[in-house]
Structure formats: C-alpha cells, structure tokens
C-alpha cells in the first residue's frame, strides 16, 4: 500500500445509531456533515424546480396559443383572496427566517414561537385555498363533464386554464401540506430542546424548503391571478 | 481447485457483520442496500425477460397463433415498462454504483445512508404497483403512454402503471442526489476530481441527468393521471389540449434516460478495459468530460423522437444536428478505449470479453442512431424494426453488456469468491452470438418495412423473425448460465483475495468482501488514478515480504 499512506481511522464501536445531532459515523467532521446536508437540500430543490417546470412549460405553451381563453378565464380567479394569500405566505417566510435566526442564537422559546407562527400562516393559506377550491367547485369551474364558465370566450380551450390552475396550485398546496406536517415535527423537537446553537440543521434545511415553496407561489400568483385582468394578451 | 481451500477463519465483513432478515431490511450499509437492489432488480429482469420470450415466441410465425393482438400489446408494454423503469435505470447505478462509489472514493458510506435505504423502499413500492398491474390484466399503451390513447381510449390500468413509474422515479432521484453529494463531499484526503476513477465520473454525470430529468417525467405522469383519472385534461384535444405537448415532456426525460442507462455502463467499461490492459486509460480527461458532455447534450436532442409528430421542419433540423453532436463524445470514448488497449498487455478474462462485446455492439447501436437522427431517413425507418434493433443494440448490447462486465468484474469484491472462469467465457461468447442473431435481422426487417408493435406480419418476413427468435433463445442461455454459476460461486467459489485482477482502484485495496466500514484506515491518495507502476511495486514488495 505504498501509494496510499494511511491515517488513523476513528474508533469503530458505538456508532450504529448515533444520537440526535451527533456526528454520524461516516462523516469525518461536523462541517462535512452540515455541508452535505446543505448541498443535498439544494440539489433536492433543483429537482423540485424541474418538477414544477413541466407545468410552467404547459402553461406557457397554452397561454401563447389561446390568449383569449386564458384572459377571460383568469378573470374568474379571486384577486383579493389571491393577494391575501400572497401576503400570508410572504409573512410566513419572514417568520421562518426569524425561526432559523432564533435557532442559531439558541433561543428555544423564540424558535418554537416563530415555528408556530409559520405553521399558523401556512394553515391560513391552505384554508383560503380550500375556500377558493370550494368556490370553483360550486360554480362548476372544475374541468370535467359539468364544466361551465359564464362569460368565457374560447369555450374549447377555457378548461385548459382551469386544469392548469388546479394542477399548479394543487401541486403547490401538496407541498404546503407536506411542509405543514414537517413543521409539526420540528415544533415538537424544538420544544423538547433537541436543537442547539451547534446543531440546528433540520431547521435550516426546512427553511430552504419553505422559502422555495413560497417562491413558487410568487410566480403562480401573477400567472394565474394578475396577468390579463384587463384583457390584454401576453407579448 | 474449487473447494480445496476453505477460509482459515471467517473475517468480519459486511456480509457476516449482522445476521437475520431485520439486519438486511433495516440496513444503512451501502453495500447491503446494493445487494437488496441486486435481488429486486434481478427479479424484475426475469419478469421482463419472460415477456421478451413471449414476444419472440409469438413472432416466430406470421400468424397471431399464440396470443391475440390485445394480449400482445400488453406483453410488449410490460416488457418495456419493466425493463426500462425497473431494470435498466436502476441496474448499474443502484447496484454497482451503490456498492462501489464509497469504496472508490475512500469513504465509509454514501452521504445519506438512510435516504439510500428509503430509495430502495420507494423502488419496491413502485414495483408493487407494477406487479399489481401485471397480475390484474396489464396495460396496452406501450411504455411511452402516448396520449390521447392512454388517457381516453386504453382499456388497461394506465393510472396504476403511470403510478408505478412515477413512484419509481423518486427512487432514482434519491439515488442521484445521494451520489452527487457523496462525490462532492465524501472523497478521501488527496482524492482530487482528476484522480477519480472514470466510473465515478460516469456516475456523477448520470446523477445529474437523474436529478434534472426524472422530475419532468414525474410531473408529466402526474398530468397524465389527472387527465385519465379526474378528466382534468392537458393533452387530449377533446379537453382543448395538445397530445404533442405530452410527447415533448415525455421525451425530455425519456431521451436523457437513455443516457442514464448507458453512461454507467461506459464507466464500467473504462475500468475494465484499463484493468485488463494494465494500462492507464488513454485520454483520461477526455473520457471524463465526454461523460459530462453526453449528460449535457442528452438534454437537447429529445425532438428526434418527434420527427413525424407535426414538429416544424426547422425544429427538426436543429434536433437532427444536435443528435449528431452527441455522437462525438460517444465516439471519443470508443476511440480512447481502443487506444487504451493498443500496446497494452491485454488479458481476455470474462469481464474483458463482455467489455469488448460492449464496444462492438455499442458502436453498431450508435452508428445506426445516426441513421435515425437523419430526418429524411427517419421518415422511412420510424416505427419499424430498425428502431427496435437500434435501441436494443444500445440498451442490451450496450447497457446490459456493460452491466454484465461490471458484475463479473466486481463479483469477487462483492462476495469474496471467484466464479468458474471457463463458464464465464462461454457465457460471454453465447451472449455476444445470441445477441447479434436476435437483433441484427431486425435491422433488415425494419429496413424492409416491418412495423414494430404488431403481432402478425406478412409471410415474407418470417425467415428473419425465425432467426431472431432462435437468437433470443441463445441469448436467454447466455443470461441463464451466469445466474447459475454466480449464485453457485457465493458458497463454493474459489477464494478471490482482495485484488484478483491486478486493478488499481481504492476498492481493490480493502478486503473482499469489504468490512462494514469499508477500510481499516481511511486511505490517503497521493497518486493519479490507474497508477499501474505503483501497483506493481506494491505487489513485488508483498512477494519479497
């Protein structure tokens, strides 16, 4: 083994199941462990970007082809509920960022508080979204056999707008619901004092996820609620 | 020779470190997870293989005498779905990549061992959906799920099949993510990017495709399921949509997916050719970057699947030229492998035979790909057996030959035992002969105009179809024999020792089978990869000692 000189390995025993926040056995240092988590999360967000990307592409293509259908159908979305939800989500991103900061300062109660605030804002968003879906349902604006759209111009292609509306906001909402579940776990762990100033990686990683879901909405809101409210076409 | 030397004393390794079913099903050891994948992927290979047998039996005669057209549609669909999503895509990355990546870079494990295990369970969950479809009557859309047939007219379990592929996709995303982080952050001290084995480069490039491409097929299948299940339409003109959009989204993943299947094989071939020529690969950096180039260009050629799907002629030309460009990095690899063997001391062991088979078959597959990326010629050849022969030359002759080369190369590392080499030589030869006999006639059939996906055909095509079916049985034997002797060797094979082939990688410096922690001491790398002079010195020192 002359081409590969050796350095002493860490002792082998007792790392089958390392405790929470401890160095896992296959890493050499905390830095390496945290770097890995961070890169992993960014790579994951990249896959999420491509995941939503397919829907954005479909939106872009159909909008270019059928601007009239999209213009008249987008007037059916509730601008004020959408705007309210956008505000709610931006606030939740702020509380999440503050939660990460509180974690880095080691302030347990503050951390739990901000996480709960994020949870409540996320819940408010989902509640409003559910109300909007319900509203679409009773107005027969869900694509399918009973689809109707009063005052819509291009009847053949109007359902496409609503299909994309439900596809995009539905995929977004499912990410919110998953985030909601993870938040519940994090709140419990934070309450039990599992996070320290040295190790709060899950909080930080979840923060990245939450901001990503937020940014997706920042794009969805103008595409589905804002553009063409005056009836002018794209480009 | 065979059972003469029992091991003096069982040393601790990853296989005997823990016992019992639970120790396997809850393991976070990348080597054990690789074996879990090996078992599951092999099982799917058998199922997909049975479908292939049925297809070749049916096509032995011009009449539809074994099954009706409906059944035939289901059989070739299941063959495609299983072989692509459940065998080819996970085969080398999830088995050999999982096992070897940490060993090759001197790490104790992948960066995320739990995610690695989860990826196997996700794969199995997708597999459950696949098996459900298989048992409950199948699906007849072809593995491509083209709309509006799949969303409106098909009578099969389209949503279930799409769900199987959808779920399975997340398994490959998790594997790709794990590999990328591992290569970035887990390399041993001194192991710089340009000291990495070419196998690692190939897997890095593959992982990039996995994480960027797979989510797109996931969302496409999600939309397909919405359209089929809830009538929330995107693609069917009856809902106002456009079926060509589905084809674009589908091939945006599914063409790069071809490179997910072939790139890991190319990584294996680079290792095998170098080892059995005892020579540093010619043009290391070129081979490494050609993997990356294939991954990048692979994303820009999907439109060559849509030459006859109302795509504009100008878009067609661009996609045609870009498809030609992919041939350049592929050819760079082939020439470099040939140059590596030139004036090397070539040993014709089984892995090398498979690797040589790979080079020949992949070259034929690649060159016929150029025929198909020429737009004018493609109009004549599209949807014929020429296409079927072309992608089987790449997928079976390329990807699976590479997989077999890899399995034969690293089997002694994985289990510590050598298989009977004479039998391996026979199997490699049978595979090569059987493969060519099966698929070469299909080029001729396709050129003569026989369309794919039909169970009856004009009698004048029978000669070539009989040749193909006969070849398939030889090929089947070529797969069966290794299955038998490899399993046999786990208990009865000759003890292999840490480095039976005289190879250079870090994985050959640890015991066979490796201990759970991979290395007794973390290796420090001080030389370039493939340093055969240093290896020779070590061996001489060991002899003297």
Residues whose CB is less than 8 angstroms from the CB of residue B46 and which lie 6 or more positions away in sequence, other chains included: none
Which domain, by its residues, includes A221? 30-226
CA nearest to A41 within chain B: B177
Residue with tokens 């870009």: B322
Q: Is residue A7 in a domain?
A: no
User: Would you call B239 and A171 a contact, using CB atoms and an 8 Å cutoff?
Assistant: no
Query: Does some domain include residue A149?
Result: yes
> Is residue A11 in some structural domain?
no
Q: Does B215 touch chain A (CB under 8 A)?
A: yes
Position A212 in a domain: yes
Q: Can you name the residues that pair with A6 across neighbouring β-strands? A: B523
Between CA B123 and CA A83 the distance in angstroms is 40
Question: In this structure, what CATH number is given to the domain that contains residue A92?
Answer: 1.20.120.80
Burial B453-474 (b: 16+ CB within 10 A, else e): eebebeeebeebbebbbbbbeb
The class of domain B30-544 in CATH terms is: mainly alpha
**Count of CB atoms within 10 A of residue B414's CB?**
24
DSSP state of A156: T
What pLDDT is stored for residue B5 in this prediction? 53
Question: Could you say which residues from 134 to 163 on chain A have a Cβ atom under 8 Å away from some Cβ of chain B?
Answer: 142-145, 156-160, 162-163
d(CA B11, CA B479): 32
B/e letters for B354-380, b = 16+ CB within 10 Å, e = fewer, are bbbbbbebbbbbbebbebbbbbeebee
Measure CB to CB from residue B538 to each of A1, A51, A62 and give the nearest one: A1
Tell me the two tokens of residue A14. 């007792």
- Smallest Cα distance from B524 to chain A, Å: 5
Answer yes or no: are the C-beta atoms of A25 and B530 closer than 8 Å: no
Q: Which residues of A touch B234 (CB under 8 A)?
A: 58, 160, 163-164, 167
Does A1 reach chain B within 8 Å, measured CB to CB? Answer: yes
Annotated domain spans of chain B: 30-544
Using the Cβ of B223 and the Cβ atoms of chain A, whether some distance falls under 8 Å is answered with: yes
- The domain total for chain A is 1
Radius of gyration of chain B (CA): 23
Which pLDDT does position B36 carry in this prediction? Answer: 97
Q: With a cut of 50, which residues of chain A have pLDDT below it?
A: 1-17, 233-235
Q: Does B108 touch chain A (CB under 8 A)?
A: yes
At residue A3, the pLDDT reads 40
pTM: 0.93
**Does residue A24 sit within a domain?**
no
What pLDDT does A152 receive? 79
Q: Does A35 touch chain B (CB under 8 A)?
A: yes
- Reduced 3-state DSSP string for B286-342: HHHHHHHHHHHHHHHCHHHHCCCCCCCHHHHHHHHHHHHHHHHHHHHHHHHHHHHHC
Q: Which B-chain residues 266-285 have CB contacts (< 8 A) with chain A?
A: none
Residues of B in contact with A160 (CB under 8 A): 233-234, 239-241
Cβ separation A26–B109 shorter than 8 A: yes
| Closest by CA position to A210, among listed A232, A178, A234 | A178
Nearest to A58 among B215, B234, B519 (CB): B234
For residue A69, the chain B residues in CB contact (below 8 A) are 240
**Residues in chain B with pLDDT < 70?**
1-10, 542-545
Beta carbons within 8 Å of B124's beta carbon, 6+ residues apart: B40
Could you tell me which chain A residue has the CA closest to the CA of B532? A3
| Residue A19 forms contact with B (CB below 8 Å) | no
Helix-helix angle B243-277:B198-230, to 10 degrees:
160
Contact B514, B35 (CB under 8 A): no
């Amino acid at each position: 083994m002359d081409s590969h000189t050796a350095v002493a390995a860490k002792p082998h025993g007792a790392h089958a199941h390392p405790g929470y926040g401890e160095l896992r056995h296959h890493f050499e240092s905390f830095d390496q462990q945290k770097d890995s988590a961070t890169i992993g999360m960014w790579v994951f967000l990249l896959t999420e970007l491509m995941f939503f990307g397919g829907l954005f592409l479909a939106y872009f293509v159909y909008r270019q082809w059928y601007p009239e259908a999209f213009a008249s159908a987008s007037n059916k979305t509730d601008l004020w509920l959408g705007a309210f939800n956008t505000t709610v989500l931006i606030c939740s991103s702020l509380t999440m960022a503050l939660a990460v900061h509180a974690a880095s300062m080691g302030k347990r109660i503050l951390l739990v508080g901000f996480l709960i605030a994020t949870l409540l804002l996320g819940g408010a968003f989902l509640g409003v979204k559910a109300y909007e879906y319900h509203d679409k349902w009773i107005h027969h604006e869900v694509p399918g056999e009973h689809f109707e759209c009063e005052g819509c111009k291009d009847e053949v292609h109007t359902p496409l707008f609503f299909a994309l509306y439900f596809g995009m906001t539905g995929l977004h909402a499912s990410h919110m619901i998953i985030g909601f579940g993870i938040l519940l776990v994090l709140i419990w762990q934070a309450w039990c004092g599992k996070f320290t100033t040295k190790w709060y990686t899950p909080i930080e990683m979840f923060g990245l996820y939450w901001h990503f879901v937020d940014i997706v909405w920042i794009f969805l809101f103008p595409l589905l609620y804002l553009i063409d409210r005056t009836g002018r076409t794209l480009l | 020779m065979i059972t003469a030397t029992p091991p003096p004393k069982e040393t601790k390794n990853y296989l005997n470190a823990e016992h019992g079913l639970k120790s396997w099903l809850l393991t976070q050891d990348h080597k054990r997870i690789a074996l879990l994948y090996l078992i599951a992927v092999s099982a799917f290979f058998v199922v997909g293989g049975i479908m292939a047998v049925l297809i070749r039996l049916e096509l032995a005669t011009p009449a539809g005498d074994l099954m009706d057209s409906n059944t035939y549609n289901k059989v070739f669909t299941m063959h495609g779905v299983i072989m692509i999503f459940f065998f080819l895509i996970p085969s080398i990355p999830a088995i050999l990549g999982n096992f070897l990546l940490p060993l090759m870079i001197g790490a104790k494990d992948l960066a995320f061992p739990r995610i690695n295990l989860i990826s196997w369970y996700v794969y199995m969950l997708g597999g459950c959906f696949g098996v459900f479809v298989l048992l409950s009557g199948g699906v007849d859309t072809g593995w491509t799920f083209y709309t509006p047939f799949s969303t409106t007219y098909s009578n099969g379990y389209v949503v279930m099949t799409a769900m199987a592929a959808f779920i399975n996709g997340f398994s490959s995303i998790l594997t790709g993510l794990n590999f990328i982080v591992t290569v970035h952050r887990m390399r041993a001290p001194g192991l710089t990017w340009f000291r990495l084995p070419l196998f690692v480069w190939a897997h890095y490039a593959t992982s990039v495709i996995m994480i960027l491409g797979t989510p797109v097929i996931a969302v496409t299948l999600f939309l397909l399921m919405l359209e089929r299940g809830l009538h929330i339409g995107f693609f069917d003109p009856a809902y106002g949509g456009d079926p060509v959009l589905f084809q674009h989204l589908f091939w945006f993943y599914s063409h790069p997916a071809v490179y997910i299947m072939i790139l890991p094989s190319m990584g294996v071939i680079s290792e095998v050719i170098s080892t059995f020529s005892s020579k540093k690969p010619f043009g290391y950096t070129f081979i490494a970057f050609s993997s990356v180039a294939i991954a990048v260009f692979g994303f820009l050629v999907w439109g060559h699947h849509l030459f006859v799907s109302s795509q504009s002629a100008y878009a067609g030309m661009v996609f045609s030229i870009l498809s030609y460009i992919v041939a350049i990095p592929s050819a760079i690899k082939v020439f470099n492998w040939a140059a590596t063997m030139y004036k090397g001391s070539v040993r014709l062991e089984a892995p090398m035979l498979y690797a040589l088979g790979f080079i020949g078959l992949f070259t034929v597959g690649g060159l016929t790909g150029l025929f198909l990326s020429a737009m004018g010629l493609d109009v004549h050849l599209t949807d014929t057996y020429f296409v079927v022969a072309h992608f089987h030359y790449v997928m079976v002759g390329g990807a699976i030959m590479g997989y077999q080369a890899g399995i034969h190369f690293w089997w002694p590392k994985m289990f510590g035992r050598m298989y009977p080499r004479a039998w391996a030589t026979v199997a490699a030869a049978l595979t090569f002969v059987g493969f060519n006999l099966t698929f070469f006639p299909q080029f001729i059939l396709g050129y003569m105009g026989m369309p794919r996906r039909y169970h009856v055909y004009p009698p004048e095509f029978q000669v070539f179809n009989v040749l193909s079916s006969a070849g398939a049985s030889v090929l089947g034997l070529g797969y069966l024999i290794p299955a038998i002797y490899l399993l046999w060797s786990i208990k009865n094979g000759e003890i292999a020792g840490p480095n039976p082939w005289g190879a250079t990688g870090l994985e050959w410096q640890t015991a066979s089978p490796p201990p759970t922690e991979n290395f007794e001491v973390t290796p420090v790398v001080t030389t370039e990869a493939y340093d055969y002079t240093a290896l020779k010195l070590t061996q001489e020192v060991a002899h003297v000692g």
